[in-house]
Amino acid sequence: MAVKVEVRAVSKDYLIPVLDRISFSVAEGEFLCILGPNGCGKTTLLRIIGCMEEPTAGEVLIEGKPLDFAHLPEHRIGFVFQEDRLLPWKTLRENVALVLKPLGGEGERGRKVATDYLRFVGLAGFEDYFPNRVSGGMRQRAAIARALAVEPEILLMDEPFGGLDAQNRRIMQGEVQRIWRETKKTILFVTHSIEEATLIGTKLVMMSARPAAVREIIENDGGADRHAIVERLNRMITEEVIRQQGLDYGFGGATPGERPMGAG
């Protein structure tokens, strides 16, 4: 499979170094899951790949072409955030149609495309509902429909099911797998759940505590024993979470220069 996204030695410093020479590649049509302790820099990494943030060093290539952070990306990249970020005063259909405006998809056409994508994510019949009238899972479905409506080549998802209860989460994991299979999109999915990552990802990138480096990359194509992978990742994440908490609270493993300055 051709390489779709290549992250090449990407580093990011804010007041503190957050990302430390992150490198990995994602094949076309792959479902990549990015794992790591809270606060290690997963969102920052995804925002860089989504062209919303510039790296301090390194580059991101899409189909071999470096992302140009000075200009709007010519590649279409869909983003699903942890919060649904729907406008509460607009219906689900209007929320989805809204993103089509800059692409010339206004009026009747936008309405039709929005309706089609809402149906695709299982929301047929709910098009005219306002976000606060549907469940959290349904709002996340609408957020996915909105991301898909721009027909992205790459779908970035940042802990999209973090706010859902366990049952809804399981249902949405199945849904995102179905969507991936049916659309054949390249998906980069951030989660801190090992259970979730090993269930849905074809490739897993485990990040270390901050400044986050790639600790391990695991192929999860069904060939390897899933339980062995889960166990290995659980050991790793426990170590990294302890290191990360040590850094956050200013003890254990933090050299003074690395201490967060009020940042969590």
For ligand ADP, the binding residues (CB under 6 A) are: 14, 18, 36, 38-44, 260, 263-264
Specify whether the CB–CB gap between 217 and 24 falls below 8 A.
yes
Q: Which of residues 35-54 bind Mg ion (CB under 5 A)?
A: 42-43
Instruction: Find which of Mg ion, ligand ADP, none residue 264 binds, CB within 5 to 8 Å per kind.
Output: ligand ADP
Phi, psi at 208, each rounded to 5°: -90, 180
Beta carbon nearer to Mg ion, 192 or 203: 192
Phi, psi at 101, each rounded to 5°: -55, -55
Beta carbon nearer to ligand ADP, 53 or 153: 53
Task: State in angstroms the smallest separation of the CB of 14 from ligand ADP.
Answer: 3
Instruction: Find which of Mg ion, ligand ADP, none residue 18 binds, CB within 5 to 8 Å per kind.
Output: ligand ADP
Beta carbon nearer to ligand ADP, 84 or 240: 240
Q: Helices 136-149 and 166-183 sit at what angle, rounded to 10 degrees?
A: 20
Instruction: Find which of ligand ADP, Mg ion, none residue 183 binds, CB within 5 to 8 Å per kind.
Output: none
Rounded CA separation 247/99 (Å): 39
Q: Which of residues 160-179 bind Mg ion (CB under 5 A)?
A: none
Task: State in angstroms the smallest separation of the CB of 110 from ligand ADP.
Answer: 32
Q: Where are the alpha helices (DSSP H) in the chain?
A: 42-49, 92-98, 107-120, 136-149, 166-183, 194-200, 226-249
Instruction: Find which of ligand ADP, Mg ion, none residue 40 binds, CB within 5 to 8 Å per kind.
Output: ligand ADP
What are the residues facing 204 on neighbouring strands? 33, 218
Task: State in angstroms the smallest separation of the CB of 203 from Mg ion.
Answer: 20
Task: State in angstroms the smallest separation of the CB of 157 from Mg ion.
Answer: 11
Cα–Cα distances in angstroms (integers) from residue 6 to residues 28, 61, 90, in the given order: 11, 5, 37
Beta carbon nearer to ligand ADP, 104 or 264: 264
The half-sphere exposure of 8 on its side-chain side, counting CA atoms within 13 A, is 14
Say how many Å lie between the first and final Cα of the chain, rounded.
38
Task: State in angstroms the smallest separation of the CB of 262 from ligand ADP.
Answer: 9
Task: State in angstroms the smallest separation of the CB of 177 from ligand ADP.
Answer: 23
Beta carbon nearer to ligand ADP, 93 or 215: 215
Beta carbon nearer to Mg ion, 123 or 237: 237
Give the dihedral of Cα atoms 36, 235, 247, 20; nearest 10 deg.
-50
61 dihedral zone (left: phi>0; alpha: psi -120 to 50; beta): beta
Task: State in angstroms the smallest separation of the CB of 201 from ligand ADP.
Answer: 17
Beta carbon nearer to ligand ADP, 46 or 147: 46
Specify whether the CB–CB gap between 11 and 59 falls below 8 A.
no
Instruction: Find which of ligand ADP, Mg ion, none residue 110 binds, CB within 5 to 8 Å per kind.
Output: none
